Amino acid sequence: MSLAIYPGSFDPVTNGHIDIIKQALKVFDKLVVAVCDNKNKEYMFSKEKRYDLLKCSLSEFNNVDVVQVDGLLTEYMKVNEINIIVKGLRNIADFEYENNMMQVNKILFKNIETVFLISKPYNQCVSSSAVKQILKFNGNISDFVPNCVLEKIKD
Ligand code: PNS
């Protein structure tokens, strides 16, 4: 059974993330979606809430596990015997950032590969940052996030 991990901040999960997850499930039998921390970011949602929003957005997929990772991604992968990372790319800026992250992860854990999947054109402008910006101005995020995120962040 082929297995990969899709790590991210998911602050919050967007339709762009779901697009990448659906693409990854065409390539891998099972996907672990990992809510991680980027220590250089300040989050709008707690880790528990980011996890909770992912869980409800992915409830229809029985071959997806959602987990919280507290330390380095590569340490989690070693312990859980996962060797493939999936990352989504929207544009050149993503490529430059993710290419660097791929090299760092590879140094930390030699026995891994990173697989890049390209976002669908209509998701290439979708980002958690845009969603948070719209939320702060009380705008409508319904075209950017799964329904259950809309429901769950109303309050
Ligand atoms: O959605 P993001 O913020 O671009 O995801 C980045 C993330 C959280 C996947 C990355 O920062 C990460 O892997 N964090 C876990 C800690 C780690 O392993 N960092 C890599 C070495 S710098």
Prediction pTM value: 0.97
Tell me 148's DSSP state. Answer: H
C-alpha to C-alpha distance for 84 and 103, rounded to whole angstroms? 14
Average pLDDT, rounded, for the chain: 97
**Which of 28, 27, 20, 3 lies closest to 94 in space, CA to CA?**
20
Share of the chain above pLDDT 70, in %: 99
Check residue 154 and give its pLDDT: 78
Ligand 1 atom with the smallest distance to the CA of 38 is 11
Going by pLDDT thresholds of 50, 70 and 90, the confidence category of residue 121 is very high
C-alpha to C-alpha distance for 103 and 146, rounded to whole angstroms? 32
Active site (annotated) includes residue 41: yes
CA 39 to chain centroid: 16
Q: pLDDT digits over 15-65, tens only?
A: 999 999 999 999 999 999 999 999 999 999 999 999 999 999 999 999 999
Of 14, 67, 73, 100, best ligand 1 pocket probe by most atoms within 8 Å of the beta carbon:
73
Average pLDDT, integer, range 137-154: 94
Apex 141 CA angle, 138 and 147, nearest 5: 125
Check residue 39 and give its pLDDT: 94
Going by pLDDT thresholds of 50, 70 and 90, the confidence category of residue 155 is low
CB atoms within 10 A of CB 21: 21
Terminal C-alpha separation, the chain: 40
Q: pLDDT digits over 78-92, tens only?
A: 999 999 999 999 999
Average pLDDT, integer, range 5-14: 98
